[in-house]
Structure 1
Amino acid sequence: MEHSKNNSYTAINWNNIEDELDKATWEKLTQQFWLDTRIPISNDLRIWRGNMSPQERQTMNLVFGGLTTLDTLQSQDGMSQLKLDAVNQKEEAVLNNIQFMESVHAKSYSSIFETLNQKSEIEAIFDWADTNEFLQYKANRINDIYQTGSPLQKKIASVFLETFLFYSGFYTPLYFLGHNKMLNVAEIIKLIIRDESVHGTYIGYKFQIGFNRLPEAERDSLQTWMYDLLYELYDNEEKYTHELYDDLGWTEQVLTFLRYNANKALMNLGQEPMFPDGAEDVNPIVMNGISTSTANHDFFSGVGNGYLLGAVEAMEADDYTIGLDKKDE
């Protein structure tokens, strides 16, 4: 994307909108802005120390270590690569916002670790994340696509990461939320999920514009590549999930949740589902927790466990069909 013409640097003009969804997404993301420092994580300490088994604490620590790795990937490499392919300045601005919030997400896990764990425990979490075979496989596989893939392949990788691969980690805090445990930690996760919903929707929309303009043979080839990649990532995610959840006996529930979210990722990309699993197959306690609305929080009294910065909801399917038809006529 060129920013200059006739040796004059081009100022971004938000009064001249090439794609209405750029403006709508910017407004939604800025309305949703939050920081981990406003959530009273320490209010969960009593539950963490007195009502969680050692295996439950270990699993939550490890899944958050994994999520930190993937958010670091998105903030350091993913969005910078997607910005190279932005088609206008407003799209690049939206991706700048997404990049920053991925850094906020990554830092949030460190805030959780610092509140709940000793220094030696935190070091062990990061050692595990930096060396786990299955976590490193998916991080490196996605990053390889970011570094060497086509613009549309990069968007596929980003949507698969944010709408599918994160959810093996999200399952744990949502499950505990449904059992009235770790409510403030879960509130951070719900805020992250709310962000990721918009990120996946927006990048999937941008993918669909480019995909629909491809000749039929190229579309067919990219579809094959896309489904092969998803199958490959799911195969690795099965192994990762067994390692994390076998001792708790949750593995099959988590895999159902993963397949459901893999289908959601495909939906964001305008594709048909790959798995038979629907929302009705997912643990209803977790599905109830995945609601992206947040509770109100009064920062002066410390009452509540939400983040009040305006009534904002996650993007719905109708939001990102704006302009698709007219753009692809």
Structure 2
Amino acid sequence: MNNDIYKAINWNEIEDQVDKATWEKLTEQFWLDTRIPLSNDLDDWRTLSPAEKTLVSHDFGGLTLLDTVQSQDGMESLRHDTRTAHEEAVLNNIQFMESVHAKSYSSIFSTLNTASEITEIFEWTDKNEFLQKKAQRINGIYQNGTPLEKKVASVFLETFLFYSGFYTPLYYLGHNKLANVAEIIKLILRDESVHGTFIGYKFQLGFNELSEEEQGKMKTWMYDLLFELYENEEKYTHELYDEVGWTEEVLTFLRYNANKALMNLGQDPLFPDTASDVNPVVMNGISTSTSNHDFFSQVGNGYLLGSVESMDDSDYEIGESGQMKRRPKR
């Protein structure tokens, strides 16, 4: 007979207020792709060159694969090492939204692409060596890494590796094209901002408990992994963007977001690139605010359930004790 007590989660007794704040943020931001009128972008789609259409399609194919990894394996692996029951609940929410993200790309495909084109997209995704390499590397850490290594892999995926795909829709948004497709990406970006911040915070709690020697080893492993991932990401970016001539701009964008990932983990930036080095058209689009249309009369750009702001690195600070506190609004 099993005498173990199964404890119910009690949201009236919160061990870590960041768990509660993150849960509230994520539920306030809830959205579904079915509320975005993607068909309104068909006229813009028809103006793109064949090379641009291939870029958009392969971009989103790659993002679908990475969101699939995150929803099927990433959050499941992180759930084994939670500090609180409320943290596990937040990860459950994140896992569901990663599935929503993956499905959203299929909604884009079904709107913009023919059946044969969709088949080609998924065949390309399955066979692209650089895409498969980063998925396999991240998933390998999810399956075999330490609790802290898994959190690093998750933050690198959410805040760095996704962004080679995000560049394209943000670029078109800045040129008044594919606005509804870009709106889905902005909603996803808003989610990823919270995911990366929350998981990075949980990493920092564990990291601060390590000895100085253990911290040094963890840092070495982390930066080595980032170099490895960036080297592969360079090759992936060349394959995607060389034909349209955007490669160097995208690599600058990636380095900027690699630094953001390190900051989420409480570490120093690695690359010299800053926001001022990124194409300003794309930086304007990366703002995670969305257009606010009335929910009932016209659910278009900005499917919002209430007015929601994104959460980023500046929202929280970690004190000397390792406890994260929300910064007051100015």
TM-score, normalising length: structure 1: 0.96
Distance 1:7 1:212 in 2: 32
Alignment-mate amino acid for residue 96 of structure 1: N
Is 1:29 matched up with 2:26?
yes
Instruction: Determine helix, strand or coil for the equivalent of 1:321.
Output: strand
Structure 1 counterpart of 2:209: 213
Match 1:325 to one of 307, 320, 323: 320
1:234 match:
230
- TM-fit CA distance, 1:313: 1.1
Question: After superposition, what is the alpha-carbon deviation per residue over 1:250-290, rounded to whole angstroms, capped at 9, x for unaligned?
Answer: 00000000000000000000000010000000000000000
Aligned twin of 1:90: 86
Q: Compared with structure 1, are the counterparts of its residues 251 and 16 closer, same or farther at alpha carbon in structure 2 (3 Å cutoff)?
A: same
CA distance in 2, matches of 1:110, 1:8: 43
One-letter code aligned to 1:67 = L
1:182-208 Cα shifts (integer Å, max 9, x gaps) = 000000000000000000000000000
Q: In the TM superposition, what whole-angstrom CA distance separates every residue of 1:103-146 from its partner, at most 9, and x where no partner exists?
A: 00000000000011111100000000011000000000000000
Output the CA distance in 1 between the equivalents of 2:322 and 2:169: 40
**What one-letter code is carried by the residue in structure 2 that aligns with 1:309?**
L
**Which residue of 116, 120, 126 maps to 1:124?**
120
Cα distance change, pair 295–328 in 1 and its aligned pair in 2 (3 A): closer
Fraction of identical pairs, as percent: 74
| Counterparts of 1:96 and 1:170, CA distance in 2 | 24
Which residue in 2 is equivalent to 1:274? 270
The letter for the 2-side match of 1:75 is S
Structure 2 CA distance for aligned equivalents of residues 144 and 78 of structure 1 = 10
State the distance in 1 between where 2:297 and 2:45 align: 22
Q: Distance in 1 between matches of 2:296 and 2:80?
A: 43
- Which one of the candidate residues 53, 56, 70 is aligned to 1:57? 53
Alignment partner, residue 154 of structure 1: 150
- Correspondence for 2:327: none
- Report how far residue 319 of structure 1 moved: 2.9
Contact map agreement 1:22 1:90 (CA 8 A) in 2:
yes
Q: Does 1:12 align with 2:5?
A: no
Letter in 1 for 2:165: G
Q: Which residue of 2 aligns with 1:165?
A: 161
Provide runs of 4+ in structure 1 moved above 6 Å. none
Instruction: Say whether residues 1:45 and 2:36 are aligned partners.
Output: no
Which residue is equivalent to 2:328? none
The structural deviation recorded for 1:316 is 3.0
Measure, in 2, the Cα distance between the counterparts of 1:168 and 1:99: 22
Report if aligned partners of 1:205, 1:321 keep a CA contact under 8 Å in 2.
no
The answer to whether the Cα contact below 8 Å between 2:170 and 2:182 also exists between their aligned partners in 1 is yes
Letter in 2 for 1:306: G
Which residue does the alignment assign to 1:255? 251
Q: Is the 8 Å Cα contact of residues 212 and 328 (structure 1) preserved in structure 2?
A: no
Letter in 2 for 1:177: L
- Choose which of 220, 224, 232 in structure 2 pairs with 1:224: 220
CA distance in 2: counterparts of 1:310 and 1:203, whole angstroms: 25
CA distance in 1, matches of 2:323, 2:302: 40
Instruction: State the secondary structure of the residue aligned to 1:306.
Output: coil
**Corresponding letter in the other structure for 2:36:** I
Secondary structure (helix, strand or coil) at the match of 1:297 reads coil
- Aligned partner of 1:187 in structure 2 is 183
